[in-house]
Amino acid sequence: MNLIIIMLLLLCGCGDKKVTYNDLENKNDLVYLKNKPYTGIAYSNESSRNFIEYNNGKLVRMVAYYKNGYRVDSFPGGENKCYKGDIEITMDEYLDAHPHLKRYIYAE
């Protein structure tokens, strides 16, 4: 009986803690976790799907999910990829669905 309880505790209570932005430290244009350049994903908070991906402390991409089913992946250098569900769409299609953003993107 004790063995069953121990196994259940191990299975239910030992989930990996998500790394969040607050767990990381920025030094000299690199991101560190526990004094080592971080490789992996850092979430905006424990319950969020939004994340930033790093490789050896350098930004790989930022991913933002929206309630309306859209996702935007942003890459260093300004490249963006937009998705509606799992289907990649153009930035123009994304902005057509979000006309309020056009004034920020195309401001003169």
Give the whole-angstrom CA distance, residue 30 versus residue 76: 14
Q: Is the pLDDT of residue 11 over 80?
A: no
Of residues 89 and 106, more confidence is placed in 89
Provide the strand spans (E) within 1-108: 25-27, 30-33, 36-37, 40-43, 51-55, 58-65, 70-74, 80-84, 87-89
Q: Is the pLDDT of residue 6 over 70?
A: no
Sign of CA dihedral 47, 22, 53, 60: positive
Residue range 41-98, pLDDT digits in tens? 999 888 889 999 999 999 999 999 988 899 999 999 989 999 999 999 998 898 888 8
Residue 78 has a pLDDT of 87
Q: How is residue 83 written in tokens? A: 């998705």
Are 53 and 60 in contact by the 8 Å Cβ rule? The answer is yes
Q: Is the pLDDT of residue 2 over 90?
A: no
Residue 103 has a pLDDT of 62
Q: Are strands 25-27 and 58-65 parallel, antiparallel or unpaired?
A: unpaired
